[in-house]
Amino acid sequence: MCRFLIVKSKNFFSLEPWLIKFAHLAKNHPTPEEDMQEDGWGVAWLNNNRWKIRKSIKPIWEEVRQFSQFDYQTNLAIFHARSASFSHHKNNLEFNQPFYKEDFLFVFNGLVSKIKINFNLEGDLGAQKIFSLILLLKQKVKKIETAIEKSYFIIKNNSEKIRGLNFALIKETKVYGFNYFEESKDYYQLWQGRNQKLICLSSNRFSDNLAWDKAPFGQVFVF
């Protein structure tokens, strides 16, 4: 279970203030079991049409003083804070998101119980395997939206329960989002925040300066 935030803007913005906002969001919105998103964090931002990625295994709110190092300007950034489901999955930087592969970025928040899929998928974590499934299906169907939809139906039809299945796939400057849950609505509901200059996809509403709407449920949306 995790938190994520994506910010896409018409104008360039500074990473540091958004990192501070996201650290506050992650610290103050624990999981339904009161677990903290304290098992590391990551940020990716677009710089001259290339992705820069930084990750840490520390709780994000413990590194706020380090954010002054992120004096970068961008118009698209992805933030993720992690709560590991199992103790043996902690303290591994490779398990922290965003994941990057085949020019795609991926962030995930959710929990799927007893999933059995007959695909040879890469990854040790459920999030890694879901990302691999989408990329595998995209090779066959070409269209990203269709690959995401097919992945959802495969997961839904081959698992015992989907507590939450929230993710975003980013390709170049396009963001493909998906929001689905079967319980813990207050935790798993994704939100879209907007003003005239930018749009956010967030695990929580966090600012009065944006107009917030619930993200579409159970379907792919793009911005």
Q: For the chain, first and last CA: distance in Å?
A: 24
Is the pLDDT at 200 greater than 90? The verdict is yes
Q: Which residue has the tokens 């991926």?
A: 106
pLDDT at 120 (0 to 100): 82
Collapse the DSSP code of 103 into the 3-class scheme (helix H, G, I; strand E, B; otherwise coil) and give the result.
Answer: coil
Is the pLDDT at 1 greater than 70? The verdict is yes
Is the pLDDT at 88 greater than 70? The verdict is no
Cα(185)–Cα(125) distance, integer angstroms: 23
CB 3 within 8 A of CB 36: no
Query: Mean pLDDT across the chain, nearest whole number?
Result: 92
Q: What contacts 164, CB < 8 A, 6 or more positions away?
A: 1, 109, 110, 111, 180, 181, 182, 184, 187, 188
Alpha-helical (H) ranges within the chain are: 15-27, 126-141, 144-157, 185-188
As to burial, measured by CB atoms within 10 angstroms (0-12 exposed, 13-18 middle, 19+ buried), residue 85 is middle
Tokens of 62: 């413990």
Q: How far is CA 196 from the centre of its chain?
A: 23
Q: Give the pLDDT band (50/70/90) at residue 86.
A: low
Share of the chain above pLDDT 70, in %: 97
Asked whether the bond before 98 is cis by omega within 30 degrees of 0, the reply is: yes
Q: How far is CA 95 from the centre of its chain?
A: 13
Is the pLDDT at 63 greater than 80? The verdict is yes
pLDDT at 164 (0 to 100): 95
Q: What is the pTM of this model?
A: 0.94
